[in-house]
Structure 1
Amino acid sequence: MIRIELDEASLGATRIAISPLWDAFCSLHLAMPHRHPSRPYEEWVVRAREVLREDDRTHPLRLLIDGPHQFPDFMLPRPVGATAVETELNAVRTTPADVVRAGIAEHYAGLEDHPYVRPYLADPEGACAELADAYAAYWEGAMAAHWPVMRRLVEDEVLIRARTFATEGIDALFTGLESRAKWQPPVLELTKHIDAEYRAGERRLLLVPLVFAEGCRLYSTDDPEVLTVSFQARGAGALRERPAERADSGDRLGLLLGRGRASVLRQLGGPLTTAGIADRLGLAPSTVSEHLSALAEADVVTRHRIGRSVYYQLTDTGRALLALLSGEDVLRAVS
């Protein structure tokens, strides 16, 4: 269990940021041979394992995963909110030699001769360049095709969480974070196989939504200004090539509304955009938009704008309809 004590300054400065590289790193853990990914990742993992097995450029990543559990931030830089992985890869590639040596000294004292550590001391610039190339090869083979959908999922998550924080406060933000995070003010507890305690001090908290957070829990405490924690973004089912169809038998909601409109309604466990729903269902955005317009006219869903995006959410009528005809426990509003 990881326990992070947060003071008022840290909580007040909480931010949320996207990181394609953090998502890629977590997915590496999920692609390990001993792992049995849950359904959303089953199709993806076949290709990811093939890339790791057959592309020799990924060797530094395999060493990273098999190496010590704790590692310096330069191997996985703090997210800066970039939506292009190239920005983060450039940060890895251009790490100054003194930063590499300081990170090795802090995290790998006594392990200088470890085959995983030795290259970073012998040739810091070269080792960082090889690590960046390994990330790039893995990204190209296993992640790039999925990133447009993943990006939309995490961008939706950032907007929804930011709205929750702004309108309901930090308690609401943490309470709805995910099952592996527990908020007992002023301590945030993270389920992990190691035990550690940290005090944020004057550092601000940075939350990072990840589609592949099932792979591992990430947290970073090296930065003197920022304490970073990852969490699971919703909608990982969009990674499936084809969403699972519900059986027609007994689908009273589908019989009443039509299968397409019913499937759209079932996605609205939390606020989503038209494009976000389309990603999850594998439908054209225009088709989803047509269904949403009809549902909004029937007062089953409501719409609200955040920035340039329009989000749809179940009304009380919509939640009651799902509960009565689908047996789904959605009567409580979702922030």
Structure 2
Amino acid sequence: MLSWEFSAADLALTRFAHSPLWEVVTSLQVLKEPGAHAVHLPWVRTARAALADVEFGLLSALVPVPSVAVPDFLTPVPAGYAPTLDEELAQLLATPPEQVRADLAGLDAPAALLADPAAGLERLAAEIRAYFAAALEPSWPRIRRLVEGEVLRRARQMSTGGPAALFADLHPRVAWADGTLRIAHRWYRAERRLDGGRGLVLVPAVFAWPGVWSQAEPPYRPGLVYPPAGVATLWESAPAAPAALAGVLGETRARLLAALGSPASTTELAARLGLSAPNASHHLTALTAAGLLARHRTGRTVLYLRTAVAEHWLTAGSLN
């Protein structure tokens, strides 16, 4: 059990971030133990074929399965909201040799990395780039959209219910009470203060499912890594719409509502439902005007999400 005690300043500074390196590490665990991550099996089949000629032996050695710990220099908590892979690898390469050795203490570490950390990190960064390009880059827009939708949904929760609402359903092993966040880790026990103003970084990572991870040891930034809502739909085609709802709205608009279990963009929805982008946009605009969808811009992308009215309609339609 890890316990984090928050001050008011810590709550004010708690924020979200997304990390390509965390997706690399957790996706490698999925590849090694797919039976424990069944929702990602469609990705596993594609990724294994794409990685057939890619060398990532050092990276693989640092991410054993089953694993209690991964070297902290490989999984830093992002300083900003959405660093690129190159930005995170630059931070990785800047890790001092003494910190590399300290992070590897007690782990089954490759001898080459211990003997020459600088050269080892160069090799590791090259392997990560090759792995990411083959296994993750083709799906990266889809992954990013799901994470952006998660951040949007959590921000709405916090705006209406405060921190208690934010943490209430973050993960089954995460609980908030009396200013303290508790994470039920099986192999790790510690009580920490966030030092009055450091805040906590929440890092949604699609391949973390079904687990939860934390970064609690100095000198690294405190972070909590958890799977975003909607992971189960990430590799699926759009679900069928309730027949009763399709009878009222029409098949296409009902299917669009059903597909928005997590926020998504016009392009993503069009691809999932086999629609043209203009056709999808036309129906999304109509659903928004009817009060069934809300629009939110994140960077250059507009995400659609269901309103409470739409949730009620879908629930009622499914019961009929």
For normalisation by structure 2, the TM-score amounts to 0.84
In 1: Cα distance, 2:36 partner to 2:102 partner: 36
Report the equivalent of 1:133: 126
In 1: Cα distance, 2:173 partner to 2:114 partner: 36
- Over 3 Å counting, the alpha-carbon distance change for 1:17 and 1:315 in structure 2 is closer
Shift of the alpha carbon at 1:219?
1.2
Report the equivalent of 1:332: none
Q: Which amino acid aligns with 2:288?
A: A
Unaligned runs of 5+ in 2: none
For normalisation by structure 1, the TM-score amounts to 0.80
Report the equivalent of 1:226: 221
Deviations 1:42-75 (A, max 9, x none): 21101333456x3462111221122762243212
Alignment of 1:244-255 (within 5 A): 245-246=239-240, 251-255=243-247
In 1: Cα distance, 2:223 partner to 2:297 partner: 29
Q: Is the 8 Å Cα contact of residues 59 and 124 (structure 2) preserved in structure 1?
A: yes
Q: Which amino acid aligns with 1:61?
A: L
Q: Is the 8 Å Cα contact of residues 164 and 172 (structure 1) preserved in structure 2?
A: yes
Q: Is the 8 Å Cα contact of residues 238 and 280 (structure 1) preserved in structure 2?
A: no
Aligned residue-pair number: 316
Counterpart among 115, 125, 134 of residue 122 in structure 1? 115
Identity %: 35
Alignment partner of 2:217: what SS?
Answer: coil
Tell me if 1:194 matches 2:187.
yes
- Over 3 Å counting, the alpha-carbon distance change for 1:160 and 1:33 in structure 2 is closer
Tell me if 1:207 matches 2:202.
yes
In 2: Cα distance, 1:103 partner to 1:245 partner: 44
- Over 3 Å counting, the alpha-carbon distance change for 1:207 and 1:278 in structure 2 is farther
Unaligned runs of 5+ in 1: 329-335
Report the equivalent of 1:289: 281
Shift of the alpha carbon at 1:167?
4.9
Bigger drift between 93-102 and 299-308 goes to: 299-308
Alignment partner of 2:280: what SS?
Answer: helix
Q: Which amino acid aligns with 1:258?
A: G
Q: Is the 8 Å Cα contact of residues 14 and 206 (structure 1) preserved in structure 2?
A: yes
In 1: Cα distance, 2:142 partner to 2:122 partner: 28
Alignment partner of 2:208: what SS?
Answer: coil
Q: Which amino acid aligns with 1:298?
A: A
Shift of the alpha carbon at 1:227?
0.8
Alignment of 1:92-171 (within 5 A): 92-104=92-104, 107-108=105-106, 114=108, 116-171=109-164
Alignment partner of 1:165: what SS?
Answer: helix
Counterpart among 257, 260, 263 of residue 249 in structure 2? 257
